[in-house]
C-alpha cells in the first residue's frame, strides 16, 4: 500500500493552488446596461489568464454560464436578501433553490453575505441581520453536506477600522466590535476568510500631498514605509492595509487572529474621474493593476504574515455605466463594454493562473446557452480548463499507468 500511494503521488499533478499566480481573481460587476454576454466575459478572462471571479449576486443564468469552465467563483448574497436568509427556513430555501442546482458543474467556493454592510448607507437596518444570515446559510450548506466545499463570509471596507496607520496601531471601530467579534468567532469556527475591500487609491485621492503616489501604486522601486512600533517595513500601501486588518483582528479577538486569513476581495484604480478626483488616469490605473498582478504572482505574503501568500481580487472586469457616485465609480474596469482594453496593462500573468486541475489552458467552445436569451451570439461556453473529454482521457491513462507500475513492483 505505501508503494501504491507513492506511485499515485508521483503521477498526480500539483494542486493548482500551489501556483502563486492562481491566487489572483477579478470582480465581475454588472451594474450596467451595455455589457456583453457572459460568454464574452469568459473569453476576456481566458485572455487575462484569470481563473477566479467574484460575482455580486447569484443570478442563475450567470451561474450556468460558468458551468464546466473550471472558473472558481465567489458568489454574493445581495444586501436586499439578508433579512430573508437570516432565518433557517429562508436560508435553506435560498441555498436549495439557487446554489445547490448550480453545483458541482459551477465551481462555487465562497458565498459573501452582503457587501460592506457595516459601513453602508443601510448599515443600521442590515447589521443586525448579517451574522444570523451568515450562520443560517452555513447551516443550510452543512445540512446538504456542502459546507466543506462552499464557505461563508462577508466583505468589509476599510471603514470598519478606527485607524489604520501605522498598521500595528490599527483597531476596529468600537461601535462595531459587538458585531465584529462574533463574526470573527464564526470565521475561526468555520475556517472562512475575512474579506476586505482595500483601495490605496482612496488614501491617495483623499490626501495626495501626504501619500506618496509611487507607494500607493505599489511601484516596486519605492523605498517603502517603516512601522516604528513593529519594526516591519512596508514596500507598498496594499500590504500595509492588509496587515492593519490583521492587527485589528488581533486587538479585537486574539484567539481568532491565529486562525483567520485576510483576503482582499476588491482592489483597483480608476482610469478616469471628475476634475477633483486626483490620480484617476489610465496611466495610474495601468500601473496599479499591473503591479497588483505582479505582487500576487510572486506568491509572497505580507510583512506580518510572510508565510501565507496574499490572495486578491482586482476590481473590475468592465466599466459599469450605471454605478452611482462620482465618475471614477464608472471607470474601474480593465475593459470597456465593447471588449476593448480601457488601457494597456504593464504586466501579464503567467499561464498557470488557473483553478483547473486538468492542465491545459486553451479555450474550448461547446454547445449550450448561458440562459441570457441572447440568441446565437451567446451560444456555447468557453472553458478555461481542458475539455471534459480530455480530462477523462488523462485519468484513463493515469489509471493504466498505475496498474502497470503496480505489476512491475510485485
Burial class of residue 295, CB neighbours in 10 A (0-12, 13-18, 19+): buried
What is residue 346's predicted lDDT score, i.e. its pLDDT?
77
Q: Of 115, 109, 316, which Cα lies nearest the Cα of 196?
A: 115
Which set of grid coordinates corresponds to residue 379?
Answer: 451560444
At 197, phi and psi to the nearest 5?
A: -90, 110
What is residue 404's predicted lDDT score, i.e. its pLDDT?
37
Contacts 24+ apart (CB under 8 A), 97-100: 98/58, 98/60, 98/63, 99/58, 99/75, 99/141, 99/146, 99/150, 100/144, 100/146
What is residue 263's predicted lDDT score, i.e. its pLDDT?
97
pLDDT tens digits for 293-352?
Answer: 999 999 999 999 999 899 999 999 999 999 999 999 999 999 999 999 999 987 877 765
What is residue 124's predicted lDDT score, i.e. its pLDDT?
77
- From first to last of the 410 residues of the chain, give the pLDDT tens digit: 444 434 433 333 333 333 344 789 999 999 999 999 999 999 999 999 999 999 999 999 999 999 999 999 999 999 999 999 999 999 999 999 999 999 999 999 999 999 999 998 777 789 999 999 999 999 999 999 999 999 999 999 999 999 999 999 999 999 999 999 999 999 999 999 999 999 999 999 999 999 999 999 999 999 999 999 999 999 999 999 999 999 999 999 988 898 999 999 999 999 999 999 999 999 999 999 999 999 999 999 999 999 989 999 999 999 999 999 999 999 999 999 999 999 998 787 776 555 544 333 332 323 333 332 333 222 222 222 222 333 333 333 333 443 433 334 44
Active site residue 219: no
What is residue 122's predicted lDDT score, i.e. its pLDDT?
73
What is residue 157's predicted lDDT score, i.e. its pLDDT?
95
What is residue 344's predicted lDDT score, i.e. its pLDDT?
93
β-pair partners for 153: 112
Ordered domains of the chain (ranges, CATH): 20-386 (3.20.20.80)
Active site residue 266: yes
β-pair partners for 267: 314
pLDDT tens digits for 85-119?
Answer: 999 999 999 999 999 999 999 999 999 999 999 99
Phi and psi based region of residue 46 (left: phi greater than 0; alpha: psi -120 to 50; beta: remaining): alpha
- Of the candidates 80, 116, 219, 352, the residue annotated as catalytic is 116
β-pair partners for 108: 73
Amino acid at each position: 500500500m505505501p508503494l501504491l500511494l507513492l506511485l499515485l503521488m508521483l503521477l498526480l499533478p500539483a494542486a493548482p493552488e500551489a501556483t502563486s499566480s492562481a491566487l489572483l481573481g477579478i470582480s465581475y460587476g454588472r451594474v450596467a446596461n451595455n455589457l456583453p454576454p457572459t460568454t464574452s466575459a469568459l473569453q476576456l478572462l481566458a485572455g487575462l489568464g484569470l481563473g477566479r471571479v467574484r460575482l455580486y449576486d447569484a443570478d442563475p443564468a450567470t451561474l450556468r454560464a460558468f458551468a464546466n469552465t473550471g472558473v472558481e467563483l465567489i458568489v454574493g448574497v445581495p444586501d436586499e436578501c439578508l433579512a430573508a436568509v437570516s432565518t433557517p427556513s429562508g436560508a435553506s430555501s435560498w441555498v436549495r433553490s439557487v446554489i445547490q442546482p448550480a453545483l458541482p458543474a459551477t465551481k462555487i467556493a465562497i458565498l459573501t453575505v452582503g457587501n460592506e454592510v457595516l459601513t453602508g448607507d443601510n448599515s443600521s437596518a442590515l447589521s443586525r441581520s448579517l451574522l444570523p444570515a451568515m450562520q443560517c446559510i452555513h447551516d443550510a450548506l452543512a445540512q446538504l453536506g456542502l459546507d466543506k466545499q462552499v464557505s461563508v463570509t462577508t466583505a468589509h471596507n476599510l471603514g470598519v477600522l478606527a485607524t489604520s496607520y501605522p498598521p500595528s496601531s490599527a483597531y476596529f471601530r468600537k461601535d462595531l466590535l459587538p458585531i465584529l467579534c462574533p463574526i470573527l468567532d464564526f470565521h475561526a469556527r468555520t475556517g472562512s476568510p475575512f474579506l476586505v475591500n482595500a483601495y490605496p487609491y482612496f488614501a491617495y485621492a483623499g490626501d495626495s500631498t501626504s501619500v506618496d503616489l509611487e507607494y500607493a501604486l505599489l511601484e516596486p522601486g519605492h523605498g517603502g514605509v517603516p512601522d516604528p512600533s513593529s519594526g516591519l517595513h512596508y514596500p507598498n500601501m496594499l500590504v500595509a492595509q492588509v496587515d492593519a486588518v490583521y492587527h485589528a483582528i488581533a486587538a479585537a479577538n486574539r484567539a481568532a487572529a491565529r486562525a483567520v486569513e485576510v483576503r482582499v476581495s476588491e482592489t483597483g484604480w480608476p482610469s478616469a474621474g471628475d476634475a477633483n478626483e486626483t490620480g484617476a488616469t489610465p496611466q495610474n490605473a495601468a500601473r496599479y493593476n499591473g503591479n497588483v498582478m505582479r505582487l500576487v504572482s510572486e506568491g509572497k505574503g505580507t510583512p506580518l504574515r510572510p508565510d501565507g501568500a496574499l490572495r486578491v481580487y482586482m476590481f473590475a472586469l468592465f466599466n459599469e455605466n450605471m454605478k452611482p457616485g462620482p465618475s471614477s465609480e464608472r471607470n474601474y474596469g480593465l475593459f470597456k463594454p465593447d471588449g476593448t482594453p480601457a488601457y494597456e496593462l504593464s504586466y501579464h500573468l503567467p499561464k498557470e493562473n488557473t483553478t483547473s486541475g486538468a492542465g491545459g489552458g486553451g479555450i474550448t467552445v461547446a454547445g449550450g446557452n448561458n440562459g441570457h436569451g441572447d440568441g446565437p451570439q451567446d451560444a456555447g461556453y468557453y472553458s478555461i480548463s481542458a475539455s471534459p473529454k480530455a480530462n477523462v482521457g488523462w485519468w484513463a491513462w493515469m489509471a493504466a499507468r498505475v496498474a502497470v507500475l503496480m505489476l512491475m513492483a510485485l
